[in-house]
Amino acid sequence: MLDLTRYDVPTWDKTKYELLNKQQLWRRTWYKIELPAAYREKVTVDIIVPDEKYLRKPTRLVVSLQILGGKDPVSWIIAHYFALCGYPALIVHRSKELFNLDFEGNTITQTLQQFDENLRNVSIIHRQAIDFAIGYLHDDLNLSELDTTEVYAMGVSLGAITLSGLSVMEPKISKSVIVMGGCDVGEILTTSKEPSVKRNVDALCQHYYIERADLRAEIRRIVKTDNAKLLYAMAATQGEIPDWKYRMVVSLIDTQVPTRAQKKLRRLIGGKKLYIPTGHYTAAIFLPLILGWARKYFERA
């Protein structure tokens, strides 16, 4: 069985952080903070806090997980939307090291183990940031109305894939909205049409003279930080995957996170789902609907 203790957060000094910027916006304040991150020199987080007048009481932290590449207005929109709804929100700035793999002198097993470590570290850094944000809000900003035992989370694309695994590791996450996430990392990587993913997979195949089908099998064999494996570990330890913990949005014409992989994850986690008749990027037209659907879920007792 998968050992979930490998995703525990190492001990670190929570007092060693730097406030990079504080900006007052309409009905909310935006803090940009730099932390000494586990397994990385530093990580930047955004914490958006509703003004006292508009804060839900009691309230919970909402974590917005980032997409893979390019500019990321989506996680920013999600975080600020929920801040305007009265929830403090957290964004953990993504790492560029996910596909930063050293092929030279390494076997394919060693390279995929390095990729697995990168995936693992992304999850641990999110756990660290959640822990920090709760302490910062409750202790430094004196947000006594904050529930320090539970957080909500929402992720799109890579953020959704990360979240479906992170929800297994982090017991504070009580509700998750997974938007266009899939399961089975091997299948997603070797069938995705996302240019940055396709480019990195092509480089792997060319360097190791391996076909995509064989690479898929190797990823399934070696990579442990796969959300399907993590969810099965949850089922093994808890007796089930709690479907009340998840809501999922599936895009029906998707080639970036293939619809087949999304449906596989949907069958695995259960819970209520929302189908949208779009591809990956055209799903943006449904973002207001998705945000309202997520808010209703979070507000339900």
Indicate the CATH number for domain 12-97+119-184+228-299.
3.40.50.1820
How far apart, in Å, are the Cα atoms of 265 and each of 23, 270, 294?
A: 38, 8, 18
* Residue 175 φ/ψ, nearest 5 degrees: -140, 135
- At 41 the pLDDT is 73
Cβ 112 vs Cβ 216: under 8 Å: no
- At 284 the pLDDT is 95
Cα gap 217→221, rounded to integer Å: 6
From first to last of its 301 residues, what are the pLDDT tens digits of the chain? 677 788 898 888 888 899 999 999 999 999 999 998 776 778 999 999 999 999 998 999 999 999 876 678 999 999 999 999 999 999 999 766 666 778 888 999 999 999 999 899 899 999 999 999 999 999 999 999 999 999 999 999 999 999 999 999 999 999 999 999 999 999 999 999 999 899 989 999 999 999 999 999 999 999 999 999 998 888 888 778 888 899 999 999 999 999 999 999 999 998 899 999 999 999 999 999 999 999 999 998 6
* Residue 32 φ/ψ, nearest 5 degrees: -110, 120
| DSSP code of residue 240 | S
* pTM metric for this prediction: 0.95
Tokens linked to 131? 């822990």
User: Based on C-alpha coordinates, what's the Rg of the chain?
Assistant: 19
Domain boundaries of the chain, sorted by first residue: 12-97+119-184+228-299
